[in-house]
């Protein structure tokens, strides 16, 4: 299939189904965003199912010429039951990083063998759940974790299927907090130690089955080059392992990290091309070394769900500072989207109830309601907003819900999946009563001590 025939939503800022209706309202998935805000309240996360499907299908299509490939959804981008069910129906496996994500994947009926358990400090309990759920693949991050997995597999009479995560010393051009493949990274086994760690795995082959290697170079990567480098490095590792241990590793997991467009300055490679180029490079790099082609795994998160999401806020108080900046304060902010504060992430926004409204010559900054100066959602836009307007920020489908907090004791927003005019609640708004649910008050503070 040619790339031109496949839509790759990750290069667009807005969901694939975005439209403006005759009232001038923003429409997503055939649903009027103003109506949705009335019905479900604000702040509100919306996810456009068609965009998720397109992105996922584009990724799968990119791998079509590779003999044996699978896309794993990196659940850390947005993990809830409905999205896990959707990803499973689309034929994906899942990358999980905690007992909570693992439990969600299992509850959404992912077969255990399609789940890959990552993380640099999995607990004994987490490893035991992975071993007892069935053949969950464990992506081992260190020598000491390997020893722990072998010990627990022995104790539970299981054979652990594992991959080793390596630190490939390849760094994409991204924020330093979301780079992972560089030398100082906390993740993975350094290349110089790989052979020794493989030797331990092979020596424990009665309880550990080494399936392959994994690397993840970082997140919000926009260029192909680091992926081409990583494939070469991996092929070299597979050749070394074949020479040293006379073993053909069965699987190759190249992680995720493909970026999306948040603003017009972002130009990520289309997901179809990303998957296709990686697959072709694996065929070349492994072919050049006469290596058997491993089962190829890719683990995109952001590029599958990021573009599908928008966040809808209600504008409250508006003020203008003496320098000429107008601040529009909305009813959400860093608790539902910590990314601007954490990574200086930039977003694009519109007024959802008046999309084609006038533009301001002076800068307007959309700020949140939380008690921090860094709680800025979009800096220096040219939107003209009034109190009561709905402000929609785009590309919030990844790492917003999953990183949301209860800062300032606020409940997390609701999330609605939209598709062909239907809007279905997939996450309830967190009620204030729930925020008190785990609070316990010592009797003496209630004046009840004896
Ligand atoms: N595989 C592994 C092993 C990972 O560590 C990650 C992301 C992924 C796959 C998926 O990466 P993606 O395709 O979504 O970029 N909170 C940050 C992103 C941290 C990503 C951590 N690992 C953000 O909001 O930008």
274-301 per-position pLDDT tens digit: 999 999 999 999 999 999 999 999 999 9
Q: Is 404 exposed, middle or buried (0-12, 13-18, 19+ CB in 10 A)?
A: buried
Question: Is residue 296 included in any domain, yes or no?
Answer: yes
Whichever domain contains 209, its CATH number is 3.20.20.10
Question: Is residue 313 included in any domain, yes or no?
Answer: no
Extended beta strands in 303-347, E state: 309-320, 326-330
**Residue range 56-115, pLDDT digits in tens:** 999 999 999 999 999 999 999 999 999 999 999 999 999 999 999 999 999 999 999 999
Domain count, the chain: 1
Strand order in the sheet with 26-28: 19-20, 26-28, 31-32
Q: Which of 55, 74, 339 to mutate to test the pocket of ligand 1 (most atoms within 8 A of CB)?
A: 74
CB of 258 closer than 6 angstroms to any ligand 1 atom: yes
Question: Is residue 437 included in any domain, yes or no?
Answer: no
Given a cut of 80, whether residue 184 has pLDDT beyond it is no
**What values do phi and psi take at 4, rounded to 5?**
-65, -25
Question: Is residue 55 included in any domain, yes or no?
Answer: yes
Given a cut of 80, whether residue 440 has pLDDT beyond it is yes
Give CA separation, 401 vs 85, 94, 306, 388, 426, in Å. Answer: 17, 18, 11, 24, 12
Q: Whose CA is nearest to atom 6 of ligand 1?
A: 256
Angle, vertex CA 352, rays to CA 348 and CA 357, nearest 5: 90
301 CA distance to ligand 1 middle (Å)? 7
39 CA distance to ligand 1 middle (Å)? 33
303 CA distance to ligand 1 middle (Å)? 10
Q: Whose CA is nearest to atom 12 of ligand 1?
A: 257
pLDDT score for 175: 64
Question: Is residue 190 included in any domain, yes or no?
Answer: yes
Given a cut of 80, whether residue 176 has pLDDT beyond it is no
Q: Whose CA is nearest to atom 5 of ligand 1?
A: 216
CB of 79 closer than 6 angstroms to any ligand 1 atom: no
Q: Please count the other Cβ atoms lying within 10 Å of the Cβ belonging to residue 1.
A: 12
Query: 248: domain range?
Result: 49-305
pLDDT score for 1: 46
Q: Residue 182 — very low, low, confident or very high, per pLDDT cuts 50/70/90?
A: low
**Residue range 129-168, pLDDT digits in tens:** 999 999 999 999 999 999 999 999 999 999 999 999 999 8
Question: Is residue 146 included in any domain, yes or no?
Answer: yes
393 CA distance to ligand 1 middle (Å)? 21
CA gap 182, 163 in Å, rounded = 19
Question: Is residue 438 included in any domain, yes or no?
Answer: no
Of 423, 418, 427, which is closest to residue 18 (Cα–Cα)?
418
Q: Which of 188, 256, 345, 393 to mutate to test the pocket of ligand 1 (most atoms within 8 A of CB)?
A: 256
Q: Whose CA is nearest to atom 20 of ligand 1?
A: 219
Question: Is residue 321 included in any domain, yes or no?
Answer: no
Query: Is residue 371 flagged as an active site residue?
Result: yes
- The predicted model scores a pTM of 0.96
């Amino acid at each position: 299939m040619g790339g031109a025939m496949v839509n790759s939503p990750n290069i667009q800022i807005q969901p694939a189904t975005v439209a403006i209706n005759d009232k001038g309202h923003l429409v997503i998935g055939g649903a009027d965003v103003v109506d949705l805000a009335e019905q479900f309240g604000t702040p509100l996360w919306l996810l456009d199912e068609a965009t998720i499907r397109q992105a996922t299908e584009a990724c799968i299509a990119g791998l079509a010429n590779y003999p044996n490939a699978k896309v794993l959804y990196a659940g850390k981008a947005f993990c809830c039951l409905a999205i896990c069910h959707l990803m499973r129906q689309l034929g994906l496996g899942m990358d999980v990083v905690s007992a909570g994500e693992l439990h969600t994947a299992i509850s959404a009926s992912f077969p255990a063998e399609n789940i890959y358990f990552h993380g640099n400090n999995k607990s004994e309990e987490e490893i035991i759940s992975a071993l007892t759920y069935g053949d969950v693949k464990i992506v081992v991050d260190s020598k000491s974790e390997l020893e722990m997995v072998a010990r627990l597999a022995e104790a539970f009479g299981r054979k652990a299927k594992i991959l080793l995560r390596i630190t490939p010393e390849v760094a994409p051009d991204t924020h330093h907090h979301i780079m992972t493949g560089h030398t100082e990274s906390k993740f993975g086994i350094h290349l110089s130690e790989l052979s020794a760690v493989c030797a331990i795995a092979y020596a424990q082959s009665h309880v550990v089955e080494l399936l392959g290697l994994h690397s993840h170079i970082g997140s919000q990567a926009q260029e192909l080059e680091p992926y081409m480098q990583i494939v070469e490095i991996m092929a070299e590792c597979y050749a070394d392992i074949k020479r040293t241990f006379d073993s053909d590793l069965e699987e190759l997991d190249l992680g995720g990290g493909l970026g999306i467009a948040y603003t017009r300055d972002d130009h990520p490679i289309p997901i179809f091309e990303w998957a296709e180029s990686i697959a072709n490079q694996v065929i070349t790099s492994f072919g050049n070394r006469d290596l058997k082609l491993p089962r190829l795994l890719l683990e995109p998160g952001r590029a599958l769900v990021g573009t599908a999401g928008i966040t809808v806020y209600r504008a409250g108080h508006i003020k203008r500072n003496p320098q000429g900046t107008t601040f529009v304060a909305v009813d959400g902010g860093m608790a539902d989207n910590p990314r601007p504060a954490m990574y200086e992430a930039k977003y694009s926004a519109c007024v959802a109830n008046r999309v084609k409204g006038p533009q301001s010559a002076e800068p307007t900054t959309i700020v949140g309601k939380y008690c921090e100066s860094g709680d800025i959602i979009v800096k220096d836009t040219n939107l003209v907003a009034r109190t009561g307007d709905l402000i929609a920020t785009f590309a919030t489908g990844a790492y917003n819900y999953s990183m949301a907090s209860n800062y300032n004791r606020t409940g997390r927003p609701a999330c609605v999946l939209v598709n062909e005019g239907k809007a279905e609640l997939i996450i309830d708004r967190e009620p204030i009563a729930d925020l008190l649910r785990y609070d316990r008050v010592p009797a003496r503070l209630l004046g009840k001590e004896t």
